[in-house]
């Protein structure tokens, strides 16, 4: 198989983790005889520094021409501390999601047995958990009109949904549920928000086309609680952009660490694969980041992007093996014991490749 | 002390738990020689059934004339299942918050030692946690303009903040932090939302007036994760209406159960005290609900509403004692052991009063 892959390292720990996601893809190509052609491009703070734009046209052009994109992370403390800056790294990520029509963000909560102890949640609560989130990614308050009054004392963001936006992701989520445990939980705030009422109405309609899937509707506040109270009860979770952002980060504690979770954004054409962790400037360049989420992003690219299930499995199994052998990065090591061999980013990356 | 207290039982389990919050207040009045005069009023589904309105004028009138309000819960499955209904129970709660100017919702995460085991989170992660949430309550996407297009295919809610709204609650939160551990974490989504950028800017300004308090700004997705990863790092958490709704429900797992958390809504005049749990129609009328959050709401009324610290402490200590003696309601009992004496709503209520 021949594929063009665009690598966008981005900001913070993005470059150092993406190195290993890319290396994993190269290794897979070598083993299975595929031809993966890599290009690289700028986005975020890294792009602003060079071009003044968070998403340069050249990056978007390359993105459109590639078969899949491996992304690192975005964001920089400078902008976080100064809300008044007009050009911001995150605009690059939001724009590429919109431009490529990446309306469905899939976030599987993959639980490695070996990491049950790394979570703040009790192992007996976690064991057996298997959740697949479908987060809507190109609508909601993320993309609605933003305003700031002239005196700068009033600011607003429009939370808005169109029926077709809910329909298309609902279909994807239901189809996935059919292949899994046939349960779908749609999360909204329909007791307060009109956009959530449209969301709920629409999901109720689509549900009729999937009578083999059991549908539940849950309010976001309750979902944030149930997710950690009893994660096993969830199978597919379908939700809006903002609620999905919050719930999936929360769910990272189920997997033991944010450093272990990858996501796939799909929609109209090219798929976009990235860790769910952020740019983590505080640890950037210190060889402390966990490269496993980037390698798992590569695995998602193989599986969801290219339909290469066996190749994806090799990566996941290798990570499982490395964990079984007691190797950990800082984020998933239990500081209180000497049970683990704690590795830096590069050592962990190399070990998985071996 | 002489006080007029309005009791609004509301919907679902509201009436059965509020009975015990009220009884606790009566008992305290008796012991300490206060005169509490009670009135009752309708709100929510209960009010719609009788008057057609979720917040009848008579209720609002009584509310304005009272010194404090003890509220139960709101909501009904009928409306949750039919998003197209125009008159909805929750409108009553939102309207009374707005009309009484209850802009600050205080949610202390009170951790009873005895309940460390009832949480899905590991006891060693929880031990020592002491968080006070300040949730903004009369702004945000809750109160911004809602629209639905004529073809019903597009719906929106305006997420909007004015600087003065952020300022007044920030002052309250900082003042509380000064009395506590002098740390304040403000939660927003300033990397995406303009209203959050106004929020962050404003908090940064106010922070300068409280140099003795250490301020941190955190994105909501990260906060949802940190809250369960390392709850001890939080002291005062200041956040917007929607984010506060989500985070505080999530935080209920820290306290072992939603059935253990109370909240105080304060602002321009009359304080409003309620459990953070919802109407839980599925268990309503079955003597399964936990009355402790309502009794703790009564304690908050005594402490925050009337400045009666000693009286409040009697209630909290009594609950502590009852838990120490091994008594539990269903939600906080560990089903796997016989260690606990599991009680119904009424038995638990009576026991605390004794
Ligand atoms: C960086 C930020 C804009 C982004 C989001 O909120 O979508 C991130 O948190 C994510 O979840 O991918
Ligand atoms: C019932 C609902 C409108 C309410 C809210 O979202 O504010 C509730 O969840 C709460 O937290 O008090």
Region B56-75: mean pLDDT is 97
* Residue A245 is labelled as binding a ligand: yes
Residue A86 burial class via C-beta count within 10 angstroms: exposed 0-12, middle 13-18, buried 19 and up:
exposed
Spell out which residues of chain B touch residue A225, defining contact as CB-CB under 8 Å: 249-250, 252-253, 258
Q: Which residues contact A193 (CB under 8 A, 6 or more apart)?
A: A159, B141, B146, B157
Instruction: Identify the band that residue B110 occupies on the pLDDT scale cut at 50, 70 and 90.
Output: confident
Name the residue among A90, A156, A162 with its Cβ closest to that of B160. Answer: A156
Pair B281, A222: CB distance under 8 Å:
no
Spell out which residues of chain A touch residue B250, defining contact as CB-CB under 8 Å: 221, 224-225, 227-228, 250
Determine the Cα–Cα distance for residues B323 and B327; give it in Å rounded to an integer.
5
Contact B194 A141 (CB under 8 A): no
- Based on its alpha-carbon atoms, the radius of gyration of chain B, rounded to whole angstroms, reads 20
CATH homologous superfamily for A120-254?
Isopropylmalate Dehydrogenase (3.40.718.10)
At residue A252, the 3 state secondary structure works out as: coil
The token pair that represents A196 in the structure block: 């959530």
The token pair that represents B119 in the structure block: 């949480």
Which of the following CATH numbers is that of domain B1-104+261-354: 3.40.718.10, 3.90.1150.10, 2.40.110.10, 3.30.470.20?
3.40.718.10
Tell me which of A298-312, A335-349, B277-291, B299-313 is least confident: A335-349
Pair A247, A273: CB distance under 8 Å:
no
Name the residue among B157, B224, B229 with its Cβ closest to that of A194. Answer: B157
Name the residue among A90, A147, A193 with its Cβ closest to that of B157. Answer: A193
Region B161-181: mean pLDDT is 98
Determine the Cα–Cα distance for residues B138 and B105; give it in Å rounded to an integer.
9
Name the residue among B162, B201, B222 with its Cβ closest to that of A83. Answer: B201
- Nearest one of B117, B132, B96 to B268, comparing CA atoms: B96
Q: Which residues contact A95 (CB under 8 A, 6 or more apart)?
A: A54, A55, A60
Nearest residue of B to residue A157 by CA position? B159
Give backbone dihedrals phi and psi of B91, rounded to 5 degrees, phi first. -55, -30
The reported pLDDT for the residue numbered A117 is: 86
Pair A230, B121: CB distance under 8 Å:
no
- Based on its alpha-carbon atoms, the radius of gyration of chain A, rounded to whole angstroms, reads 20
Tell me which of A153-167, B146-160, B238-252, B334-348 is least confident: B334-348
Domains of chain A, residue spans: 1-105+259-354, 120-254
Pair A98, A216: CB distance under 8 Å:
no
* Residue A107 is labelled as binding a ligand: yes
The reported pLDDT for the residue numbered A27 is: 95
Q: Which residues pair with A328 in a beta bridge?
A: A342
Checking B77-85 for CB contacts under 8 A at 24+ apart, the result is B77/B281, B78/B45, B79/A191, B79/B45, B80/A190, B80/A191, B80/A217, B81/A217, B83/A190, B83/A196, B83/A197, B83/A198, B83/A200, B83/A201, B83/A204, B84/A197, B84/A201
Active site (annotated) includes residue A189? yes
Ligand showing the shortest atom-to-Cα distance for residue B98: 2
Instruction: Identify the band that residue B269 occupies on the pLDDT scale cut at 50, 70 and 90.
Output: confident
Provide the phi-psi class of A164: left if phi over 0, else alpha when psi is between -120 and 50, else beta.
alpha
State the smallest CA–CA distance between residue A158 and chain B in angstroms.
5
Determine the Cα–Cα distance for residues A144 and A160; give it in Å rounded to an integer.
6
Instruction: Compute, in angstroms, the gap from residue A308 CA to the centroid of ligand 2.
Output: 45
Length of chain B: 354
Q: Which of B197, B205, B217 to mutate to test the interface with A (most CBs of A within 10 A)?
A: B197
Condensed to tens digits (0 to 9), the pLDDT of residues B182-201 reads: 999 999 999 999 999 999 99
How many helices (H) and strands (E) chain B has is answered by 13, 14
Spell out which residues of chain B touch residue A278, defining contact as CB-CB under 8 Å: 222
Residue from B191, B196, B226 whose mutation best tests the ligand 1 pocket (most atoms within 8 A of CB): B191
Condensed to tens digits (0 to 9), the pLDDT of residues B223-246 reads: 999 999 999 999 999 999 999 999
Determine the Cα–Cα distance for residues A352 and B15; give it in Å rounded to an integer.
58
Instruction: Compute, in angstroms, the gap from residue A35 CA to the centroid of ligand 2.
Output: 54
Q: A1-105+259-354 and A120-254: same fold?
A: yes
Determine the Cα–Cα distance for residues A115 and A260; give it in Å rounded to an integer.
10
* Residue A151 is labelled as binding a ligand: no
At residue A183, the 3 state secondary structure works out as: strand
Ligand 1: list residues with CB < 6 Å: A 74-75, 90, 93, 245; B 191-192, 221
Determine the Cα–Cα distance for residues B282 and B234; give it in Å rounded to an integer.
33
- Nearest one of A191, A177, A87, A173 to A135, comparing CA atoms: A173
Determine the Cα–Cα distance for residues B168 and B182; give it in Å rounded to an integer.
18
State the smallest CA–CA distance between residue B89 and chain A in angstroms.
9
- Nearest one of A65, A77, A68, A126 to A260, comparing CA atoms: A126
- Nearest one of A111, A121, A103, A68 to A238, comparing CA atoms: A103
Determine the Cα–Cα distance for residues A279 and A56; give it in Å rounded to an integer.
19
Q: Which of A145, A224, A293 to mutate to test the interface with B (most CBs of B within 10 A)?
A: A224
Which residue has its alpha carbon closest to ligand 1 atom 11? A245
The reported pLDDT for the residue numbered A41 is: 98
Determine the Cα–Cα distance for residues A261 and A297; give it in Å rounded to an integer.
8
Give backbone dihedrals phi and psi of A175, rounded to 5 degrees, phi first. -65, -40
pLDDT less than 70: residues of chain A: 335-337
Q: Which residues pair with B219 in a beta bridge?
A: B188
Ligand showing the shortest atom-to-Cα distance for residue A143: 1
Q: Which residues pair with A217 in a beta bridge?
A: A186
- Sign of the Cα pseudo-torsion (B253, B109, B94, B96, in order): positive
Instruction: Compute, in angstroms, the gap from residue A279 CA to the centroid of ligand 1.
Output: 10
- Nearest one of A280, A300, A299, A302 to A290, comparing CA atoms: A280
Contact A79 B191 (CB under 8 A): yes
Does the pLDDT of residue B335 top 70, yes or no? Answer: no
CA triplet B220, B222, B225: central angle to 5 degrees?
A: 110
Would you state the torsion angle of the CA atoms of residues A266, A269, A271, A277, taken in this order, to the nearest 10 degrees?
Answer: -50
State the smallest CA–CA distance between residue A202 and chain B in angstroms.
9
Residues of B annotated catalytic, as ranges = 142, 189, 221, 245, 249
Condensed to tens digits (0 to 9), the pLDDT of residues B131-146 reads: 999 999 999 999 999 9
Condensed to tens digits (0 to 9), the pLDDT of residues B3-14 reads: 999 999 999 999
A192 CB near ligand 2 (under 6 Å): yes
Q: Which residues contact B144 (CB under 8 A, 6 or more apart)?
A: A156, B157, B158, B159, B160
Spell out which residues of chain B touch residue A222, defining contact as CB-CB under 8 Å: 249, 278
Determine the Cα–Cα distance for residues A87 and A94; give it in Å rounded to an integer.
13
B264 CB near ligand 2 (under 6 Å): no
Ligand showing the shortest atom-to-Cα distance for residue A243: 1
Residue A326 neighbours by CB distance under 10 Å: 12
Q: Which residues pair with A70 in a beta bridge?
A: A7, A273
CATH homologous superfamily for A1-105+259-354?
Isopropylmalate Dehydrogenase (3.40.718.10)
Q: Which is catalytic among the residues A79, A142, A161, A174?
A: A142
Instruction: Identify the band that residue B336 occupies on the pLDDT scale cut at 50, 70 and 90.
Output: low
DSSP B120: S
Residue B214 neighbours by CB distance under 10 Å: 14
Q: Which residues contact B99 (CB under 8 A, 6 or more apart)?
A: B55, B60, B63
Which residue has its alpha carbon closest to ligand 1 atom 12? A276
The model scores a pTM over 0.85: yes
């Amino acid at each position: 198989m021949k594929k063009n892959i665009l690598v966008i390292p981005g900001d913070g720990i993005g470059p150092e983790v993406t190195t290993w996601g890319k290396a994993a893809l190269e290794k897979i190509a070598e083993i299975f005889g595929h031809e993966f052609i890599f290009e690289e491009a700028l986005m975020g703070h890294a792009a602003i520094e060079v071009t003044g734009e968070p998403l340069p046209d050249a990056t978007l052009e390359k993105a459109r021409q590639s078969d899949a994109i491996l992304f690192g992370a975005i964001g920089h403390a400078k902008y976080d501390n100064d809300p008044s800056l007009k050009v911001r790294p995150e605009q690059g990520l939001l724009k590429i999601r919109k431009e490529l029509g990446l309306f469905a963000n899939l976030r599987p909560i993959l639980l490695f047995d070996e990491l049950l102890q790394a979570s703040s949640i009790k192992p007996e609560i976690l064991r057996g958990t298997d959740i697949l989130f479908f987060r809507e990614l190109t609508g909601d308050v993320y993309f609605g009109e933003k305003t700031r009054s002239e005196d700068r004392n009033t600011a607003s963001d429009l939370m808005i949904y169109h029926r077709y936006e809910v329909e298309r992701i609902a279909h994807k989520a239901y189809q996935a549920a059919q292949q899994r445990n046939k349960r779908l939980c749609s999360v909204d705030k329909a007791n307060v928000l009109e956009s959530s009422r449209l969301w709920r109405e629409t999901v109720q309609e689509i549900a009729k086309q999937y009578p083999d899937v059991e549908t539940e509707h849950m309010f976001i506040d309750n979902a944030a609680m149930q997710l950690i109270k009893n994660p096993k009860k969830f199978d597919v979770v379908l939700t809006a952009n903002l609620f999905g952002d919050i719930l999936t980060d929360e769910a990272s504690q189920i997997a033991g660490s944010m450093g272990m979770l990858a996501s796939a954004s799909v929609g109209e054409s090219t798929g976009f694969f990235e860790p769910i962790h952020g740019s983590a400037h505080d640890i950037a360049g210190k060889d402390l980041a966990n490269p496993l989420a980037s390698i798992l992003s590569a695995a998602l690219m193989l599986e969801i992007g290219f339909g290469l299930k066996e190749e994806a499995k090799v990566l996941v199994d290798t990570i499982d093996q490395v964990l079984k052998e007691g190797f950990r990065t800082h984020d998933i090591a239990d500081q209180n014991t000497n049970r683990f061999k704690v590795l830096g980013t590069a050592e962990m990356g190399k070990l998985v490749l071996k």
